Structure 1
Amino acid sequence: QEWHLDCRTPRVNEVDPINFFAGSRRAKAMCKREVSFLCLCSDGLYEFKREWNSFVPSKFFRNHSVTQLACGASHTLVLCDDGLYGFGSNKQGQLGISRSLYQLCSNVMGNDLYYPSPQLLSFFSGMRILSIHCGKDYSLVITCNVEKESVVFMFGACSEVFSQNKVFVPTSIPELRGKQIVNVYNTYDYCFCVCQDEVYGFGNGLRCGTTSFKGGVNRLPEIENLHIQNISGGKRFAVLQAEEGLYCLGDNTSGQLGIERPLGYITEPMLHPFF
C-alpha cells in the first residue's frame, strides 16, 4: 500500500506549536510516546518530534479518517474508518503482527525489530472495533461480535494473562468475554477493565489489593463499590477518580501518591486525605 507522507523538515524554530493550533485547527486527542507525541486534529493526524529545541509536526494518514489512537512506550495503534493500523516496535508482539511476518518484514536496528511505517493489522479486518488501548509493551482491542458481545483481544507482553510472555497473534481474554465493558484504563503495565457490575484488573506491577503476586485476570471487589469516573497511574501505582472522592493505590515509596504516610506500598484503595 502506498503511503503519502509529508517528510518536510522545517528550519529550526520554523514551527511554533502555539501558532500551529491557531485558527480553525482543533486538537481532538493527544497521545504521548517516549520521544514524541501524536495529536489528532480536525484536519488530520500529526506527530510532533523534538528536534533542535523545536517541535516539528509531520502529517500522515492524509487520506484516512482517524477515529481513535493509542500509544505505548514504543508503539502506536491508529483506528481509521478503513481498519486498524500499527507502527513502531513489535519486539514483544505489541503490534499484533505474527512472528513469521515479524521476522521476514521487519527492519533491524540493533536487537530491536520495528515497523517505522503504518501497517494494516489484517487480523481485525471485518471486525467491529469499539476501542483501542495500549500499555507499555502491550495492546488491547475491544470488539463486538455478531452476538453483540464484547470480545477483548490482547497482544504483546502478556505473561501475567497468558502462558507465554510474547503474544504476537491477538488472543481473546476468556474471562472478559460477554462482559458489558464500560471503560478500560491503562497504567504503565497494568489494566483496569470496568464492566457494568464488576471491575477486573490484570498485568504486572500494581497487583490491586495485595502485596503478593496474582497472575491472570482478577476481579477487584475492593473498588467495585465506587462510581469510577477515571483512573490514571504510572509504574506500580494508580489514582482513581470516583464520585465518592479520590483514591490511591500501589507504590508510594517516592510519595508519588501525594500521601505522607505510609511511604511504602498501599495495598487497599485509600481515600486521599487532601482532595
Structure 2
Amino acid sequence: MGNWERTGLRTITSLNFFSFPSLSSAGPISLLACGGAHVIALTSAGKVLTWGRGTSGQLGHGEIVNCTLNPKPLTSLESYFITYVSAGWSHSGFVSDTGCLFTCGDGLFGQLGHGDYRSLCSPVKVSFFVNQHVAQIACGMRHSLVLLKDCTLNQVYGFGSGKRGQLGISKDRIKSISLPEVTNGLEGVEIVGINANGDHSAALTVDGHLYTWGRGYNGLSDAHLPQRLGSSMCFTQATLGWNHGLALTGDGKVFMLGGNKHGVLSDPEKLSPAKQLPDSKESILDKVPGLDGIKVEHIAAGAEHSALVTENGEIKTWGWGEHGQLGLGDTCDQTCPVTVSLGYILNGAATVRVYCGSGFTFATVTPCILC
C-alpha cells in the first residue's frame, strides 16, 4: 500500500486493511464487483480476475474451489475484451465490448439465463442475447437483470427468482424463470444503469429518474412492476442492499430508501419509517444525516451496511459491522456515517472508489497521474 504514489498503479485494499500485490501485474483496476463472498476485478485492459468463495462455480475457473486472497485471472475469457462485470450472492456475469454476455455460478433458480437450472463453473455465453448488444448485467441474490445498449424498447430483461416481483415481468407472483423475459413498465424511458441485490431491483434513467421493483421496503407490499420514485430530484447513481437502497444526486447529496436494521441507514429514533405517497406505493427517500456541507461523489451498499466517498476522497461507512466491514477497527454497528482512516493522507491526489459485498468492503485508489 505504501508505494502506490510511485508505482502509478491503482491500489486495491479491503477496509480490514489487506492489500493485494498480485493485482499490480494485472494493470489498473477499472471496476470491482463484490458478491456474497466473492469478488470480480476488471482491469482497464478488459481482463478479469476473481477470488473468494467458489463453491458454486462463481469464480469461473472451471472448478468448484475457493480462491482466498489470491486473485486469479479468468483465462476462459482472455480472448474477449470485458467491459462490465457483476457479482451476485453466488453467481457472476461478464459483458464483452461486442455485447456478448457470459454467466457462471449457481443456476438453481435460473439466474444464469441459459434455459435450465444447472450451475456452471466456467463462464458460458447466454445464447438468448446472441443477436442483441448487452451493455450491463446486474446480479442479485437469486436473480439477474440485463440492460441492452441503445435500446428504449424491451431494454431491460430479468431471469431467475421472481417470488418478490424482482424480475418486473408480471403483476402475478412468479416462482422463477430460466430464460430472459422483458421487464415491463419501462417503455418509453431510456435506462442508463441497472442494479440488483437481495430481492430488489432498480433502474436509473438518462434524465435521473429512479425506478425500483421487487420486495417492498419497510413492510410495504412487493412491487411486481417497476415504479418511479416520486421525487423531483435528479439522481446520478443508485445502489441496493438487502433491506435498503441509496441514491446520489448530481449535487452530491445522498438519500436512502428502506429500514434501519443493524443501523444500516440511520438512527431509528431520528428517522420515521419510509412513508407512502398519496395514492401510490412509492416510498419516500430520506436524506442521510450527518453529511451537511459534504459533497459525496460515490456510494455503495452491502447486505446491511453502506459506504460513500466524499469529494475530498474520504471514505465514510455505517450500518452492520459484525465482520469488520466498516473498516473502523472494531466490529460494532454504526447508525451514522463515520470516516475511515486509510493510514495515509490523500489530499485530493487520488480518485477513491468503494465497493461493498455482503459482509465486506473494498476500496480502490487511483493516483492522480491516472486520473
Identify the TM-score tier after normalising by the shorter chain.
0.7 to 0.9
Whether the 8 Å contact between 2:264 and 2:320 is mirrored in structure 1 is: no
Q: Counterpart in 2 of 1:41? A: 96
Q: Counterpart in 1 of 2:168? A: 96
DSSP 3-state at the match of 1:38: strand
Whether the 8 Å contact between 2:165 and 2:213 is mirrored in structure 1 is: yes
Whether the 8 Å contact between 1:99 and 1:168 is mirrored in structure 2 is: yes
TM superposition shift of 1:35: 3.2
Whether the 8 Å contact between 2:264 and 2:334 is mirrored in structure 1 is: no
TM superposition shift of 1:201: 0.5
Q: Counterpart in 2 of 1:251? A: 320
Q: Counterpart in 2 of 1:135? A: 197
Q: Counterpart in 2 of 1:5? A: none
TM superposition shift of 1:22: 2.2
Structure 1 window deviating more from structure 2 (207-216 vs 180-189): it is 207-216
Q: Percent identity?
A: 21
Whether the 8 Å contact between 1:227 and 1:242 is mirrored in structure 2 is: yes
Letter matched to residue 213 of structure 2: F
5+ residue gaps, structure 1, are 1-11, 107-112
CA-to-aligned-CA distance 1:122-167 (integer Å, 9 cap, x gap): 32223222322222111112235xxxx543221111232xx73311
Letter matched to residue 22 of structure 1: E
Q: Counterpart in 1 of 2:181? A: 119
Q: Counterpart in 2 of 1:109? A: none
Inter-CA distance 233–184: structure 2 relative to 1 (3 Å threshold): closer
Greater RCO structure (CA 8 Å; 6+ sep): 2
Q: Is it true that 1:167 corresponds to 2:234 in the alignment?
A: no
Please give the alpha-carbon distance, in whole angstroms, between the structure 1 residues aligned to 2:205 and 2:123: 34
Letter matched to residue 234 of structure 2: Q
Letter matched to residue 38 of structure 1: G
Inter-CA distance 264–22: structure 2 relative to 1 (3 Å threshold): closer
Q: Counterpart in 2 of 1:8? A: none
5+ residue gaps, structure 2, are 1-60, 64-71, 107-117, 275-284, 344-371
Whether the 8 Å contact between 1:135 and 1:189 is mirrored in structure 2 is: no
Q: Counterpart in 2 of 1:55? A: 122
Inter-CA distance 268–57: structure 2 relative to 1 (3 Å threshold): same
Out of 264, 267, 281, the position equivalent to 1:210 is 267
Letter matched to residue 39 of structure 1: F
Count of residue pairs brought into register by the alignment: 243
TM superposition shift of 1:17: 6.7
Please give the alpha-carbon distance, in whole angstroms, between the structure 2 residues aligned to 1:119 and 1:85: 5
TM-score (norm 1): 0.76
Deviant stretches of 4+, over 6 Å: 50-53
Q: Is it true that 1:192 corresponds to 2:246 in the alignment?
A: yes
DSSP 3-state at the match of 1:97: coil
DSSP 3-state at the match of 2:341: coil
Inter-CA distance 232–13: structure 2 relative to 1 (3 Å threshold): closer
Whether the 8 Å contact between 1:209 and 1:222 is mirrored in structure 2 is: no
Out of 20, 39, 57, the position equivalent to 2:76 is 20
Q: Is it true that 1:85 corresponds to 2:157 in the alignment?
A: yes
Quick check: which one's strand share is greater? Answer: 1
DSSP 3-state at the match of 1:99: coil
TM-score (norm 2): 0.58
Q: CA RMSD in A?
A: 2.9
Q: Counterpart in 2 of 1:6? A: none
CA-to-aligned-CA distance 1:72-106 (integer Å, 9 cap, x gap): 11111111135211111110011112333x4xxx5
DSSP 3-state at the match of 1:20: helix
Whether the 8 Å contact between 1:17 and 1:55 is mirrored in structure 2 is: no
